[in-house]
Amino acid sequence: MRIEAAIAARTSFRLGEIEVRFDGPVAVVSGPPGGDTAPVEVSLEVLREFVRADDHGRYRPLPGARTLPHGWEVRCASAGELRTAIDEVYPLALQHISQHERGDLRVVALDDVLQRQSGRYALAAGLSGKGREAACRALCSRCVRTPSWQEGTLPEEAIPCPEACSVLIALCREAALWESSPPAPSPANPTLPFAQFEAPGNEVREAYLAAHFAAPPPGPVQHRPARRR
Amino acid sequence: MARALVLAGHGSHLDPASSRPVHEHALRLRARGTFDEVRCAFWKEEPPLSRILEACDADDVTIVPVFISNGYFTRTVLPREMGLTGPISHMSGKLVRYTEPVGSHPALAEVIVERALEAGAGPATGVAVLGHGTPRNPESERNVFFQAGLVAKMGHFAAVAAVFLEQEPNMRDVFQRLDTREIVMVPLFVAEGWHVGVSIPMDMAIGAGELRRDDRTLRFAAPVGTHPLLAGVINDLASAAAAWR
Ligand code: SF4
């Protein structure tokens, strides 16, 4: 039990974009470093609201997005507070890591998630296999979680994603519409709302369009580690 | 038997205000200490509805939908995502109780009255209870008419009417629905989100919370869902469910 063992032994660890270190009786959770300035101290009570916006004040509907604000820390007086702090930043991540390590993480295939949608999202199931791959590349590569529902081996330090999230479902829905009438690409504009996929310039939309309709983009997205269920 | 309470909300990919009241009510309910665990789960945010039950340590879990209408979300989406089979479900050793949404509870009428009073309503005021509504689902209007009827029976105001954002009777006709000089409109919405904060004031051309027409005024109250009293409504629903066998 990697994280639980580290908490019990009070040894530092990283999880996604956060780092946990122990300072005497206190556990310190810190966000990505903010340069030369000392980190801002954030209380556990306001942490959830604090991490809901990125450095530019843009709403983060996907808690796993690699857009945590920089330069902050939370001081936790107990292991319970530390778990709460981690859960505020990455909801259910600790449970999913433990379940994965025990071998009882309930994993749901992407197709099952898409097939069960109704109403506005029923369209998502119509996305082709190639479209689904491009959607995962465009979105999941921006997330600290690693899909357990894809083939391959989960890296040791991964936060498993047991089931496609609502943001991916929303992207698959838009992408299914794009397959019938492909939109023209636009320059990516990282100030647009993260999940407003219908907006030309949305960074995830443009990454998808580049992956699906043009030559695949270069970079780490192409070389994700192999995953295991 | 340890007991958990799950507040099931809608959440949003675009509006951080959407889930805020649900988290705030969870804090209030944790402070009451009635339940060993109080958690939130959302359709469009994390933690997701589909994974929350297995995250609960308790083996007796009560889910209260923090929704106004009993319609598509409470009858289709929540049961499907959470694997519920009815008001009581048995899942992996857990007893799961699924209540009606907050919008069905008669105590919500008191929250509507509070919001109207805060906005300055008095005995001569007409109160318009504003629901979302949709012509696609006749169920979605039911709780709005129900709550407006309860508020009318309480007799605090000169008149009470139900009006809607997306169906008839439409909110734009509120001056025809109520003949009082002063009208207060109370949004029967969970959050101070896009509708309450932007689209309704824009559609109604309400500047600074007030609209004047000849010698008549319409004021806009805060939504019921953000009122601290809503935590009590959630608690009532959950407590009643505790007796289900
Ligand atoms: S589906 Fe993709 S983006 Fe969503 S939580 Fe899982 S890994 Fe992250």
Q: Are B125 and B221 found together in one domain?
A: yes
Q: Are B150 and B70 found together in one domain?
A: no
In this predicted structure, the answer to whether residue A213 has a pLDDT above a threshold of 90 is no
Q: At CA B222, angle to CA B216 and CA B223, rounded to 5?
A: 115
Q: In total, how many domains does chain B have? A: 2
Mean pLDDT of chain B, nearest integer: 93
Contact B148, B161 (CB under 8 A): yes
> How far is the centre of ligand 1, averaged over its atoms, from the C-alpha of A140 (Å)?
5
Is residue A224, in this structure, part of any structural domain at all?
A: no
This prediction's pTM: 0.93
| Interface contact flag, A165 B76, Cβ < 8 Å | no
Backbone φ and ψ for B148, nearest 5 degrees, come out as -60, -40
| Of B79, B80, B76, residue with least CA distance to B97 | B79
State the Rg of chain A over Cα: 19
Q: Which residues of B touch A49 (CB under 8 A)?
A: 20
| Residue B145, domain extent | 108-225
Is residue A157, in this structure, part of any structural domain at all?
A: yes
Q: Are B25 and B131 found together in one domain?
A: no
Q: Are B20 and B129 found together in one domain?
A: no
Nearest to A95 among B44, B55, B77 (CB): B55
Q: For residue range A99-119, what is the model confidence (pLDDT) as tens digits?
A: 999 999 999 999 999 999 999
Is B212 an interface residue toward A (CB < 8 Å)? Answer: no
Q: Are A128 and A67 found together in one domain?
A: no
Q: Are B219 and B231 found together in one domain?
A: no
Nearest to B14 among A52, A59, A166 (CB): A59
| Residue A36, domain extent | 2-101
Rounded to two decimals, the ipTM of the complex is 0.92
β-strand pairing of B3-9 with B37-42: parallel
Q: For residue range A78-93, what is the model confidence (pLDDT) as tens digits?
A: 999 999 999 999 999 9
Q: Are A110 and A96 found together in one domain?
A: no
What is the predicted pLDDT for the residue at A4?
92
Q: Are B89 and B53 found together in one domain?
A: yes
What is the predicted pLDDT for the residue at A1?
67
Ligand 1 atom nearest the C-alpha of A164 is 1
In this predicted structure, the answer to whether residue A219 has a pLDDT above a threshold of 80 is no
Q: Are A148 and A209 found together in one domain?
A: yes
Q: Are A81 and A111 found together in one domain?
A: no
| Interface contact flag, A166 B54, Cβ < 8 Å | no
Tokens of B26: 């969870």
| Interface contact flag, A165 B46, Cβ < 8 Å | yes
Inter-axis angle of helices A93-102 and A2-9, nearest 10: 110
> How far is the centre of ligand 1, averaged over its atoms, from the C-alpha of A93 (Å)?
12
Q: For residue range A29-67, what is the model confidence (pLDDT) as tens digits?
A: 999 998 888 999 999 999 999 999 999 999 999 999 999
Q: For residue range B214-223, what is the model confidence (pLDDT) as tens digits?
A: 899 999 999 9
Residues B183 and B171: their CA atoms lie apart, in Å, by 12
Residues with CB under 6 A from ligand 1: A 62, 64, 139-140, 143, 145, 147, 161, 164-165, 167-168
